[in-house]
Structures are given as C-alpha cells and as structure tokens.
Amino acid sequence: MTKPAQPLTDIAEALALGETTSRQLVETALALAARDRRAFSDLYAEAALVAADEADARRRNGAPKSKLDGIPVTVKDNMDLAGEVTRAGSKVLETQPAATRDATVVQRLRQTGAVILGRTFMPELALASIGTSLHHAAPPNALDNARVPGGSSSGAAISVGRGIVPAAVGTDTGGSVTLPAAVNGLVGYKPTARLLPRDGVVPLSRHLDTVGVISRSVSSCRLLAGAMSDRERADWLARPSLPVEELRFCVPTNYVLADLDPKVAEAFDLALSLLRQAGIQVEQITLPELDRIPQIYEGGGFAMPEIAAWLGRRGLLDREDDYDPRMMNRIREGAQISAVAMLDSLALREELVTSARQRLAGWDGMLMPTTPIVAPRFSEVQEDADYRRLNMRLMRNSRVANILDLCAVSLPIPAGDPTLGLGLLVAAPAWADPALLEACARIEAIFGQADPGEAAISALPARALCGSL
C-alpha cells in the first residue's frame, strides 16, 4: 500500500491509478500521528476520515477535485481553521475567540480536496528557530531523537519527516520553513513573501512573514504551493527546461560561510563538487549586503516590535506569567524599541534589498549552507544563555532570504550520515520562483544520482573554500 512517506506527487499518481485510496492514506497517517503526538497541537481524525471517504467517492465517480484530492496534509498551529481557536503555540491565545473562517491558504487547500489531518506544533508565536517550548514538549528531530526539530515550523517538518503526511504547510519569518526542513533531511520552499496569502495567519512580522511548504521533493513543494497560490498554476510550470550546464550560481564567501560546523562545511563542499561535476557553473562572490544584516538585529529589528504591538492591541502583554519566559523576554525587549529605531531598521532593510537585487542579477541563484551548524542536542539548549546563542546562530543563514526579500529552497545534501540533516539553500530574487524551482529540481536530480562516498572523495580539493574562512 502507498504510504504518506512517499513524495506528494507519487501519492497523487497512485491515487489516480487506483493503487491506493484516500481512506487508506488517512488511516495510515492517523496511526503514525498517534506515535508522534508531540508533532501536533490538534488532530482532526473524524473530520479527516469523512473528507477521505468523500474524496474516494469523487474518484470512483471520475470527478476528483484535483491531483491533491484525498491526500492528507498538515497546517501550522498559527493558521485559522473555522470554529477552532488559533493558538500559535501560545497559552495566551487559548482564550481568544474561535476563528470564523479558514485562513485563505487552508480554504484553497480544501477546495482542492486535500485532507487537513491536523495542526502542527510550533514554539510560542513562532519565536524560536530551535523549535522547543517550555510550555509544551517539542517533538524530537526526525533523524535523531536526541536533537531538536528546528523551528518554528517544527511539527510541520516532523509530520513529513516521520512519514505521517507527504507535505506540510508552515510559515517562514527567518527561515522557519527552510531551517527545519534542512535539519530533518527534507525539502523546504519559502516562496516570495507576497506570493501566498497570509490572511488568517497569526503574524510575527508583516514585512518578513511567508507561507511556505515542507515536503520530500521539489515537485511536491511546487504542487502544494501552486494549489495555495492565486496565480495561474500554469505559471509555475511555464519555464522551459534548461540543460544543467546553462545554470549559473554564485556562492558568497562572506558572512554565510563564517564559523561553519565542520560537518556543515564538508557537506557544503560536497554539494558544490556535485554541481560542478554535473556542468553547473559555480562562482565565488562577495556580497557586502550580508555583512550588514546583523545591524538590523543589533538595533532591535522590527519583528519583535511588530509582535509586541499585535499582542498589545489585544490586551495580552500584561499576562507575562502565561508566556514561555524565554519568549516573554524577547517580546518585552521588542516593546521597548522606539519607532525611530524600527524605522531605521526598515530603511536599512530596504537599502539592502535593492542593492542585493542588483548584485544578484544575472545569476540563477545564490548558494549557501541552510544552517551554519547542525541541529543542537536537547541537552545543549537547557541553559538560557546557550539557548539564546544557539537559537540565533542556527538561523543566521536562513534569515538571509527573508531580510533580502528572496525566494528560497532548502535541499537535503546527500552527505552520507543518516542521523544529520544538512541542507543546501538556493535563493533567488523575489518573483523568480518558477525559475528557482526549475533549477532546484535539476539540483535535486543531481543529488539523487550521487554516491555519497565517492562524491566526498572528489570534493576534497574544494574544501579550501570553507576551510579558509
């Protein structure tokens, strides 16, 4: 029987051929979800089975709604479902009124016939790249139970990584889709920020928030994102195929390659070696805009003032004891940032976006390790100081796509260690999504043909790229 652990596109084909049913898929998914209950804030078993039976009836009558009809997926806990309270991982929001309608992306998924299996775990208000919470037990990493799942789309990644569903919908403000996808050995797609609608999604930053997808293949991410987009789906598939030797990528040698974990550096060199062997042009550049990104965060940034203001308008800032203390500290700091400081951060970001867009013109994409370090062990983030340091370090590279207004895909690097998720981040300017996805499908195929052992040996001469920084 076809299982959700297969790519979304393969399951869609199996359904179309009658090799499985939606009822079988959903029953399997629910059984697996029961073993990894920490990945979910809510499971909708009864509703999911009803939806599955309806999808099967449509297929028997030759009238499926779409390729996705009857396939179970998950959505993040910050997305509205009609009749349910949207908690976004926070005890503070548990007392808020239930949503009166689905978030638009959820509504569009239902219109395709996709089955919403449940909403997935997230750290409070999406404020942690580590993916843990002091209020709720976090699910372990899909590849190593001793390591954190990454975040903030933590449960989304685990629901795919554990084979419960073939695809999940998350949100990304500083790498919250690409980062957990990377550390769990999955594909994560962060579209251009305005591509997918964000209404009905609890915001962290209206300047950075993006709805994204985690799955097992680029084509699966493309299919699910297309279903949620208001653009013609044909636009996603319109770019003609290009021979891999015609692709040109740049690798910034500053900022994103500094202080890499040795395993990350080795995997990144392996990835570059595989691309070059396949005839893809990879050239080093300096991208000065990267070195100025910390200035935005040193000035307090703008995401924290935004979430503090959002909570304040709802009279929720005075309930400090109900927040995860680590998150409350950040919210409190955000509330103290002046309007002048926030406007300065926004102005700097606009300057960096414009400059980087000009500098990246002519390239098919920019390459970097998705994370500069491997996923920390739970034991390494127990102390507050360690937690804060590793939380910021883990998201250093992935947040580049958000700050510079890029679309991005994280692809798993075939590095050979089954217990470590190591990702290659491929990023391109806003609205280059179709071309980016096409290029990433090429890279995915190259990685899929690789022998990790032989490729690692051939990558040895290239290691000076990372080792010298």
Question: Any idea which residues carry the catalytic annotation?
Answer: 76, 152, 176
**How far is CA 153 from its chain centroid?**
6
Question: How far is the C-alpha of 413 from the C-alpha of 401, rounded, in Å?
Answer: 19
Closest by CA to 191, choosing from 432, 30, 359, is 432
Question: How far is the C-alpha of 299 from the C-alpha of 160, rounded, in Å?
Answer: 36
- HSE (CB half, 13 Å, CA atoms) of 152? 27
Reading the block at residue 320, the tokens are 């400090």
Other beta carbons within 10 Å of 111: 13
Contact indicator for 185, 421 with CB cutoff of 8 Å: yes
Question: How far is the C-alpha of 256 from the C-alpha of 368, rounded, in Å?
Answer: 7
Element (H, E) at 363: none
Reading the block at residue 399, the tokens are 């947040």
Q: Are strands 167-172 and 72-76 parallel, antiparallel or unpaired?
A: parallel
Question: How far is the C-alpha of 54 from the C-alpha of 219, rounded, in Å?
Answer: 26
Other beta carbons within 10 Å of 45: 15
Please give the order of strands across the beta sheet that includes 281-285: 40-43, 115-120, 72-76, 167-172, 210-215, 187-190, 406-412, 423-429, 365-369, 248-252, 281-285
φ and ψ at residue 319, rounded to 5 degrees: -100, 55
Question: How far is the C-alpha of 392 from the C-alpha of 301, rounded, in Å?
Answer: 13
Q: Are strands 281-285 and 72-76 parallel, antiparallel or unpaired?
A: unpaired
Other beta carbons within 10 Å of 57: 12
Question: How far is the C-alpha of 263 from the C-alpha of 445, rounded, in Å?
Answer: 23
444: left (phi over 0), alpha (psi -120 to 50) or beta: alpha
| Alpha-carbon distances of 232 from 275, 408, 452, rounded to whole Å | 31, 20, 39
Q: Which residues contact 266 (CB under 8 A, 6 or more apart)?
A: 415, 456, 459, 463
Question: How far is the C-alpha of 418 from the C-alpha of 437, rounded, in Å?
Answer: 25
Reading the block at residue 68, the tokens are 């996705």
Contact indicator for 175, 129 with CB cutoff of 8 Å: yes
